[in-house]
Amino acid sequence: RLRALNRLQVIFQHLKMSKQTDSAAEVLLEKKGGAGVITLNRPKALNALNLSMIQKIYPQIKTWEQDPETFLIIIKGTGGKAFCAGGDIRAITEAGKVGDKLIQDFFIGEYRLNNAIGTCKKPYVALIDGITMGGGVGVSVHGHFRVATEKTVFAMPETAIGLFPDVGGGYFLPRLSGKIGYYLALTGCRLKGRDVLKAGIATHFVESEKLPALEKDLIALKSPSKEKIADLLNSYHMKCTIDQEKEFALDEHMEKINSLFSANSMEEIVKKLKQDGSPFAMKQLETLNKMSPTSLKLTLRQLREGASMSLQEVLRMEYRLSQACMKGHDFYEGVRAVLIDKDQSPKWKPAALEEVSDEFVDNCFKPLGSDDLKL
């Protein structure tokens, strides 16, 4: 009897929660003035994207895109710590272990959303204040405008969990200047504040505390064109003096990054780093040695191929890779070591780059026939 009662209480609790005001919703979708505003609202989870959020945002963007009264779309996060720290990796891991179809649905939904942002006809402004990684990069970087602040921390850390920099990483990373994108993708290096702008990931840099005023001004614009929005962002950008004098953190290493990361294979990159022998090269070597060898090989090829593909072709390729990773060993092991047990010592299989065969890598890129991603 008691257990049945307890179960009822739990059910009531759930019902009560679902009826709560909008502030309890994981994503808020509001029309303010001429702007559609998307607010990622899972501050405790650093606004990580889950499937239900993706399934709410996608149709709303499509609706706003068709609406003559909506002139721009703004996306932001709550909580002051993160814009969006990534996708809901834990849920995907649990699903993958039991063969649940979330491992298809999540990536299909996420990549369709990335494509909707990349092809959006209305100006799309992402306020990337705080941690912006993985899935958070996917819902910002493909839009027209990305506003970074002194609190922005950008990274694509997927090779450390047996994955690859997806969400269209194969499209935007190889298009950054020199070999910065390859370096960021393989090492998971973090960029902070103004460096996110200097690397070409953000389009503008504004003080974090000025964002509410900026948002208000964006909303108040009368039937704004892309030019008007750009002018407004530029005026805020020009007034921001934080870290103005600071050199780009990677500046002193750019020459090395461009030569060391231009090799055609991971083995060659490693060889070049060893031959270089500088403290910078040794540090990169140490970092790469911690990453999944399979992920490193998939990532290098993903970027090399993605460099000449359209965003749609890249997302199709990445969907194939995502499904290959879901079938493999390293993703589950990486998530265990980094996010669950946090012992930071994953046992990769295969454990060395030389053991990841070209044939295996080729197979990961093979079309999935009727299961391929449809955009």
Active site residues: 87, 135, 158, 166
Helix (H, G, I), strand (E, B) or coil at 77: strand
Angstrom distance (rounded) from CA 337 to CA 56: 32
Residue 355 CB contacts under 8 Å (≥ 6 apart), including other chains:
293
Residues 6+ apart with CB under 8 A from 28: 22, 37, 38, 39, 41
- Count other C-beta atoms under 10 Å from residue 178's C-beta: 15
Cα–Cα distance for residue pair 279/268, rounded to 1 Å: 19
Distance CA 173, CA 201 (A): 9
Tokens of 153: 């921390």
Backbone angles phi, psi at 51, to 5 degrees: -65, -40
Distance, CA of 137 to chain centre: 3
Tokens of 82: 């993160």
Pairing of strands 191-192, 153-155: antiparallel
